[in-house]
Amino acid sequence: MHELSIAAAVVESAEGVAREHGADAVAGVTLRIGELAGVVPDALRFSFSLVAEGTALERAELVIEEVAARARCGGCDARFAVGSPPALWCPHCDTPAAELLTGRELELAEVRMAGSP
């Protein structure tokens, strides 16, 4: 259940952003989570509700954008969905991928400040 540690890291960084911008409270945060990040969105939502209590994110809405895993073929350069369970091999020419384009994201994308004067 490392989602608890991850939720704590989200709250810590979002509070930092709020402080930098002179806001007392955060209305919402958006996270981008890749299919292969090894994080379960539901577990993260649950953890977030616990960790946010008593912080500037207490009433913050958590939005999770899931990012599909995509790779680029090292042979024919095609872009393809890696699928689940993942296959890092091109479905067109059966060559290993040269790189994973998306899918490992674990990113705090946006912080929305609560009503400012």
Structure tokens at 69: 């895993």
**Residues in region 36-95 near other proteins by CB under 8 A:** 36-39, 71, 85-89
Q: How far is the CB of 67 from other proteins (least distance, A)?
A: 11
Phi, psi of 47 (to 5 degrees): -60, -40
**Residues in region 12-41 near other proteins by CB under 8 A:** 12-13, 17, 20-21, 23, 27, 31, 36-39
Residue located via tokens 């810590």: 12
Residue 73 and residue 90: Cα distance in Å, rounded? 6
Residue 111 and residue 108: Cα distance in Å, rounded? 8
The binding site for other proteins (CB under 8 A) comprises: 1-2, 5-6, 9-10, 12-13, 17, 20-21, 23, 27, 31, 36-39, 71, 85-89, 96-97, 99-100, 103-116
